[in-house]
Amino acid sequence: MAVPPADRLSAGASPSDGSGGEPLLCGKCGAAVALPDDLFATSAECGYCRTRTPLPSELAERRRRHGLARGALDLARQKQANEAEARRGRGRFAVKLVVLIFVVPAVIVVGGIAAVVYYAAQQQREQQEKLEALARRHQQQLTASVASGLPLASAFPIPSGLPMRRSFSVSQTAAVTRTCAGGSTLSLRGEQIAHGTLLRARGGCRLTLTDCTAEQLVGIDAADDAVVVVRGGKLRGAGTIVRASGSAQVTVDEGAELVGEMTLMVSDQASVRLRQAKVVGETVAVMARDSASFDRGRAEIVGTVLLPRR
């Protein structure tokens, strides 16, 4: 039985074709047909008999123009949204660029400076501890020498730059003392230096050791304006091999090798220069006072080079 048009209209179908005129009716059953959501559709489906009814050409054209206008509006809105997002993206990029250019390098520089300061402080602390331990060991040696009643033929003072609570002298027993003083010259060549020998250079003396060897050298004590040159050979001792003070100049070259517990001590305005040499010691150099200088040159150094605070 066919549904009367009035009943079909009351069933929820759109009664108008959207033009303000007569409603769009199904060509088969006569029921009102609702317009489709697709503005570009050219026909509408009946909600009762499922028959598609063509839209009037004027209605179809009007709906098409409306759809085009809506699409253009959507495109304009999308373009505005894209531009706004692009602006936000450029803003975020600018912030990241500022952070990368200014903040990150600043953090790296500050962190680097902090690391360098910490490392320097750590190195200085370790150096001070080593110097204090070395000074205590020499104090023990001095105490043992005094207690044994042995003669103390030469004194090697610890420079004032060492971090000690009180001053004291480190001495070693010298069985033989060979002294070069004034403007004289003392040259030793290929000599086996006797055990317990102290070589002392004073004033404007020039002391030269060429290819000499020593197994238990007390040391070379250069002071005032003395000039000491060690070429080749090997000098070994239990304590300080070279002690330079005053304005003395000491040069070690031509493959010479110095081996000792504290191989070199430099103070006052003295200078020690190493060229083609090898220096072995628990403590290789101590510069502690005034304008003393130590130039390691091309020397091979085995041990810790200590440069305590002046």
Q: Ramachandran region of residue 20, left (φ > 0), alpha (ψ -120 to 50) or beta?
A: left
CA-based nearest residue to 240, from 223, 264, 271: 264
- Burial pattern 194-207, b for ≥16 Cβ within 10 A else e, equals eebbbbbbbeebbb
**pLDDT band, residue 57 (cuts 50/70/90):** confident
Q: In whole angstroms, what is the distance from residue 110 CA to residue 39 CA?
A: 65
Least confident piece of the model among 67-76, 102-111, 158-167, 170-179? 158-167
- Sign, Cα dihedral of 172, 157, 250, 161: positive
pLDDT digits (tens, 9 = 90+) for 5-50: 434 333 333 444 444 456 788 888 888 888 888 888 888 888 889 8
pLDDT at residue 156, as a whole number: 39
Q: Where are the domains of the chain?
A: 90-310
pLDDT at 289: 57
Q: Tell me the average pLDDT of the chain.
A: 77
State pLDDT tens for residues 277-294.
888 876 666 555 567 788
Tell me what pLDDT residue 168 has.
28
